[in-house]
Amino acid sequence: MIIFDGLYSFISVILSSASLVVCKVIEVKDNEDFPFGKYVLEPLVVSINSIILIIMCLLSLYDAINALLLGGNSVNTSSAIVYAIVSTLGSFIFYDRIKKAGKKINSELIDAESIQWLMDGILSATVLFGFILSVIISKTAFSFITKYIDPTMVIITSILFLKAPLKIFINSFKEVIGVRVPERISVEVEKQVEVIKNEYNFIQAVTRVLKIGRSVKIEVNFIIGENNQLITKEEEEIIKNELYIGIDSENYFKDMQIIFTTNKNNLITA
């Protein structure tokens, strides 16, 4: 269990460091190599981080099952308890610091890292509880089962800890391939577009929304009818400005493209 906890903490440090580097890279001004920004790096790194944690949990689960089948193992509980106390405090401190940083820059990458450290803190607390329980049991007539506590804890925590990285991986991978749009954002876009459509009597409005990391790409196609074919460039700019201000994308970077057309065949349907 100590090896599992230590590996999880060690990998968390490496992944957190990599995530900070990626955040700095994203903040650097874009150039010709990234004409659409570097925001895709965020969900991409989150996906890779999640895969690494999933693999680690699966390998630990396999080793723990083997240890259990081979008769368990004994542990120096005194040293284990000291380690678990230090690890628990350290993990929760890191979680608190990273969580606060994530709120300031609205980064899902940093949020994922904070969840990772929260899990590490819970893991260390579980280790502490398990070894305290082992000490108590060793003083009873059931002391023979103490050698099975360590691998059993690893099996339980490995299974429980698979859920979070799996969920994070699925969500971030959807962003990488362009299929995930948070409902709160898509609903807000549809609402504001409908207001503009009714105000200017457009025949139809088709929207397409894509969220990638801290970036939200919004495309709106307005179909102009005979009664408003003479819409001026000034009115187009007013509409674009109204949509940009009206759409609340929760501090995400908004990349908007608004098209006015009379040809329905040119529409990219949602």
Round to whole Å and give the CA distance between 101 and 116. Answer: 14
User: Which domains does the chain possess?
Assistant: 2-176 (1.20.1510.10), 183-266 (3.30.300.20)
Please report, as a single letter, which amino acid is at residue 77.
T
Going along 196-250, which residue ranges are E strands?
Answer: 204-212, 215-223
Average pLDDT estimate for 166-190: 78
Whether the pTM exceeds 0.95: the reply is: no
How confident is the model at residue 155, as a pLDDT? 87
Is a pLDDT exceeding 80 seen at residue 16? Answer: no
**Average pLDDT, integer, range 35-51:** 77
DSSP 31-50: -TT-TT-STTHHHHHHHHHH
pLDDT band at 270 (very low <50, low <70, confident <90, very high): very low
Helix (H) or strand (E) holding 5: helix 2-27
Is residue 96 scored above 80 in pLDDT?
A: yes
Residue-wise pLDDT for 134-167, tens only, equals 888 888 888 888 888 888 888 888 888 788 888 8
pLDDT at 175 over 70: yes
